[in-house]
Amino acid sequence: MPASSCPQCAHQSFELIYLTSGNAEMSIRAVQCERCGAIVGVLDDLSSKLESIDERLKALERKLGDGEGKPYSALKD
């Protein structure tokens, strides 16, 4: 299998970096060339998105409890 190379400088070593924008709440992972820094790919960071969704669902379960401290998930059974 041929080695991947940077389209800008033809170097063959890459690294993962995190990028954030000034107004975004989340960051994205990008693959960049170690030599020239050219971005060659972007990865979706699903794990952090899923953690955020899980935390929000747990907060909703606490709010939807039975009023006696029992979480909503315990009421479903």
Domain boundaries, the chain: 14-67
pTM exceeds 0.85: no
Q: How far apart are CA 69 and CA 14, in angstroms?
A: 51
pLDDT in tens, 8-52: 999 999 999 988 877 766 778 899 999 999 999 998 767 777 888
Q: How far apart are CA 65 and CA 76, in angstroms?
A: 11
State yes or no: pLDDT of 55 exceeds 80.
Answer: yes
CB-based contact 33:12 (threshold 8 Å):
no
pLDDT value for 71: 60
- Using DSSP's 3-state secondary structure scheme, residue 3 falls into coil
Structure token digits, residue 22: 């000034």
How far is the CA of 69 from the CAs of 13, 59, 66, in angstroms?
Answer: 54, 13, 7
Looking at per-residue confidence, does 66 or 32 come out higher? 32
Q: What confidence score (pLDDT) does residue 46 get?
A: 77
